[in-house]
Structure 1
Amino acid sequence: MTNVKELLEDYGIDRFLEYVGAEKIRKIGDNFRSCCPIHGGDNSSAFSYHNGYFTCFSECDRNYSPIDILMIVFSLSYPEAKKRLEKLFGQEIENEDTSEITYENLENKKFIQDFKKLKESQKQEENTEFCLNDLATYQKITHEYLINEGFSDETRQFFDLRFCDKGIMRDRVVIPIDDKNGKIIGIAGRSIYDFRLLELTGQSKYFFSKGLKKSNTLYNISRADRYSDYLIVVEGYKSIWRLHEWGYDNAVALMGASLGDKQLKLLLKFNLPILISGDNDKAGKNLQREVVGKLSRYTPVEEFPIEKITSKENDSIAEIKKGDFEEWTKKIMGKYPKKILF
């Protein structure tokens, strides 16, 4: 016998949702959203699949297994729903613990708790602007978001990452952004919540301080080692942090999937060959082509083939292995001469 999660994902989440009558089914990343087949309605984000369970955000804030859904939608007993699911999947499945089917004893408990917390924080949010330069107002901690992403306390200290627990930056990792001289010119706030929660509550992954123009600088420009043999250019912050942990401080981030004119000039001032790595999605590929097109006439530009390392859409350097990065980087950039330091 095989567990329901494995069979469900092999069968296809979208096919199962169609079978139980869900409408407006759409795929976002590795997950699926739809209207709730239990409560109905027109909200195409009301029903969400994650790790073997479906979560309803329409009315009840509960998790449902596939058998739960069949029992409710088709008015079946547990044995009848299990038998129908086995026929649908073409294989026997393990029995579920039906002693108390509530979200409190399921894996998605934290997800639903976070959702409620985020919704509540929106109601209580202070309409105050956050301070640009006085970072002392934010906590010097390594938040569990950074730990779960595999970043060390040393990385937090090196980049002076902090955490805010109030105001419009509530529940965000605070990222100082400076210019080439090290002067802080703005702050980015990265939400600690899952993208599904942000979508459901209408919040952005990032908030930025008022007046900040990301296209006027490059993230990590003041720390980037100008004595390196080449410069690594990436999209986002996490890739910079990961590269630092691997010992690569010759990297800057565009903080987005486009190259501004001022950023172009800043890159050329390094006077180094460039290795560009966008994320493994359409925007990332477009970014790589843009950087090559705009810079290759002035300096050597090579593209990092992240699609040969990971098949996951949206993956960046932050999600791949150090060995894979080093192997490909050596192949690509090894042809350029080493700098001779006196």
Structure 2
Amino acid sequence: MSTASYKIDFDELKRTVSMEQVIAYLGLPRLKQRSPKQWKGACPFCNGVDCFVVTSDGGRDKTGAFNCFKCPAGGDQIELASLVRGNPRKDPNGAYAAAKELYEKLCAAGEALTRSNASPQPRRERRSGFDAEAYAKSLDPGHEALTGLGVDAETLRAWSAGYANSGVNRGRLALPVATKDGTIVGYMGRTVKDDTPLLTFPNGLDPQEHIFGVDKVGSGQLFLVRDPLDVLKAFEAGCGNTVCFLTEDIKSIQLECLAALMDERQCESLSFF
């Protein structure tokens, strides 16, 4: 749908798409529901603990609102989607892009939500999921903050990775978390300095359920490293069969997943570095 052919009615969108739908769509399911109309948990923007509150009947028009008590994040469904997608606070362009995304992804029929400047638009099927392509476009693989990591910008581009200037991974190297078939389900943030933690994850993404580099594995010897950055360096050196776990402590279920991967991809041996 062309952005030039219609304008989105923000107020009607917020009345139609509930805050609960937006939370689920953005991958924030781990907020704990404290009441039928309120959720509370860790802030996806400052990583503060138990300081992020979402209500389905908050805001000026009682259509939904969110607020963090430790950082400036706050607003409605559209602002939440905009911030999660890495846009600055109160950014008009980000808000429009977020509203368009929510409209196209979560509305089964859009005629009531638009003021058309052209012919009526077709009905849209209800869809959900993380828009990895849009997020990757917001990242900067050539940012000066990444020069000390020892990975070329071209390698980062090949992995759809880069420096995050805003959003959940702001100030970190944003790296894709993918399934075995290459589907990116979210982005984690790796520090570009010597601070801790090494890796951070958005709400709804459990690091124990994923192995970094799993989608690049083929037959032959498999290499297991400790840092996702080492996976990128190995890839740059021509070794695509390199993976790493995303947790400091490795659980038995993670080892079982790795063994299943080796069996599926016919990896004959494993070397640990």
TM-score range, shorter chain: 0.3 to 0.5
How does the TM-score come out when normalised to structure 1? Answer: 0.39
How does the TM-score come out when normalised to structure 2? Answer: 0.48
Higher strand share: 2
Larger-Rg structure: 1
More contact order relative to length (CA 8 Å, sep ≥ 6)? 2
